[in-house]
């Protein structure tokens, strides 16, 4: 077992898009090269202009490659929009903003998918091209598509999220195709060999639940020896990004880290909340080990600092637990 012990302790992160990618960037900066594996939601994937688009994979990929647009959190830096402009002129759909560089990747991935490669292989090829040291694993290779049930009817995820800007009242979700999805060998291996598992501050319903909808993945996470620590995406009663708080309200739940912790339930060995929510822990409302710290990540140093604190907290849970 010498070879194994020489390898740096491996960390697996579960992530959706912008919020999750931020902590993944911090984790990659905090860990030895190659120690991080990110399992990414693909429930947001969709077909547009005849291409398969994987928004969360790309947000994580571009973020870890350091080529993301740091203003928006998604898309490429120094992006141009010449194809989109022409597409609009020709009467094509232009509500989903695909930049030119971004489009190069979508074209290539769609071409490779059509040629029979699976999403895990393609994502690995891409992250190597971008010189990303961390592994990026799609939650599965089969298409899973999040449908959002709302008071205005059922909408494909991107219609709800981008086109309708999350305005319709949220009623529930279906992850179409999840029952046919298969746990990939890469995910099984990554989780079984992980020293720590971190659920990034992503939307628990839209980003984490689709990952857990892959048959066997939730059970594997439950049984994994490594501590599982989630970072709350709800800070001070608000979602830092996206519709998580609005969705909680519409479900009649409090917009609180408590709702996140309850939702993830007994998957968690520990929970990280923001300093401003520490009263929850002090009041004993969270019945799991909890770290309260500054969870708002504005720049690389703050991403890395939070990552280091989360990793230290995770290690402490192992030491405590024996």
Q: Taking CB under 8 A as the rule, does residue 254 contact a second copy?
A: no
Among 34, 70, 95, 129, binds a second copy (CB under 8 A): 129
Among 89, 283, 287, 322, binds a second copy (CB under 8 A): 89
Burial of 5 (0-12, 13-18, 19+ CB in 10 A): exposed
Of 155, 132, 130, the closest CA to residue 145 belongs to 155
For residue 111, give the 3-state DSSP assignment. helix
Q: Quick one: 69 or 110, whose CB is closer to a second copy?
A: 110
Q: Quick one: 76 or 304, whose CB is closer to a second copy?
A: 76
Q: Quick one: 101 or 263, whose CB is closer to a second copy?
A: 101
Residue 165 region, left (φ>0) first, then alpha (ψ -120 to 50), else beta?
A: left
The first and second tokens of residue 226, run together, are: 């490594």
Per the CB < 8 A criterion, the answer to whether 282 and 254 are in contact is: no
Q: Quick one: 22 or 76, whose CB is closer to a second copy?
A: 76
- The C-alpha atoms of residue 72 and residue 62 are separated, in whole angstroms, by 12
Q: Taking CB under 8 A as the rule, does residue 116 contact a second copy?
A: no
Among 84, 198, 234, 272, binds a second copy (CB under 8 A): 84
Of 120, 113, 165, the closest CA to residue 139 belongs to 120
Q: Taking CB under 8 A as the rule, does residue 169 contact a second copy?
A: no
**How do 270-274 and 228-231 pair as beta strands?**
parallel
Q: Quick one: 105 or 208, whose CB is closer to a second copy?
A: 105
Among 69, 110, 193, 293, binds a second copy (CB under 8 A): 110
Q: Which stretch binds a second copy (CB under 8 A): 95-103, 158-166, 172-180, 196-204?
A: 95-103
Q: Taking CB under 8 A as the rule, does residue 104 contact a second copy?
A: yes
Among 29, 87, 267, 288, binds a second copy (CB under 8 A): 87
> Taking CB under 8 A as the criterion, which residues in 49-78 touch a second copy?
49-51
Total Cβ atoms within 10 A of residue 237: 13
The first and second tokens of residue 20, run together, are: 């999750």
Q: Kindly state the smallest distance separating residue 52's Cβ from a second copy, in Å.
A: 10
Per the CB < 8 A criterion, the answer to whether 198 and 229 are in contact is: yes
Q: Quick one: 110 or 302, whose CB is closer to a second copy?
A: 110
Q: Taking CB under 8 A as the rule, does residue 92 contact a second copy?
A: yes
Among 29, 77, 100, 267, binds a second copy (CB under 8 A): 100
Where do runs of H (alpha helix) occur along the chain? 2-6, 18-30, 55-65, 82-89, 100-114, 119-129, 157-158, 185-192, 209-212, 217-223, 244-250, 257-264, 278-282, 300-321
Q: Which stretch binds a second copy (CB under 8 A): 81-89, 163-171, 262-270, 297-305?
A: 81-89
**Phi first, then psi: what are they for 295, rounded to 5°?**
-105, 0
Return residues touching a second copy (CB under 8 A): 49-51, 80, 82-87, 89-92, 100-101, 103-105, 107-108, 110-111, 114, 125-126, 129
């Amino acid at each position: 077992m010498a070879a194994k012990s020489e390898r740096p302790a491996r960390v697996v992160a579960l992530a959706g898009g912008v919020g999750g990618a931020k902590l993944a960037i911090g984790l990659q900066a905090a860990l030895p090269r190659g120690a991080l594996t990110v399992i990414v939601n693909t429930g947001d994937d969709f077909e547009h202009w005849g291409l398969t688009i994987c928004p969360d994979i790309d947000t994580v990929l571009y973020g870890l490659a350091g080529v993301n647009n740091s203003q928006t959190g998604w898309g490429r830096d120094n992006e141009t929009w010449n194809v989109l402009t022409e597409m609009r002129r020709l009467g094509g759909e232009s509500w989903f903003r695909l930049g030119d560089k971004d489009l190069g990747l979508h074209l290539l991935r769609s071409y490779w998918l059509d040629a029979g490669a699976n999403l895990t292989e393609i994502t690995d090829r891409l992250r190597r091209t971008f010189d990303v040291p961390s592994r990026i694993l799609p939650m599965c290779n089969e298409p899973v598509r999040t449908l959002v049930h709302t008071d205005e009817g059922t909408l494909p995820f991107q219609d709800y999220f981008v086109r309708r800007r999350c305005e319709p009242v949220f009623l529930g979700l279906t992850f179409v195709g999840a029952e046919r999805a298969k746990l990939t060998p890469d995910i099984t291996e990554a989780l079984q060999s992980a020293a720590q598992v971190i659920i990034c501050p992503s939307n628990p319903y839209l980003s984490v639940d689709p990952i857990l909808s892959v048959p066997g993945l939730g059970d594997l996470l439950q049984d994994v020896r490594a501590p599982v620590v989630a970072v709350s995406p709800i800070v001070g009663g608000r979602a830092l990004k996206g519709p998580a708080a609005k969705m909680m309200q519409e479900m009649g739940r409090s917009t609180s880290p408590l709702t996140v912790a309850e939702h993830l339930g007994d998957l968690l060995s520990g929970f990280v909340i923001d300093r401003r929510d520490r009263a929850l822990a002090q009041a004993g409302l969270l019945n799991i080990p909890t770290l309260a710290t500054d969870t708002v990540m504005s720049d690389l140093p703050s991403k890395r600092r939070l990552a280091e604190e989360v990793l230290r907290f995770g290690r402490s849970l192992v030491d405590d637990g024996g």
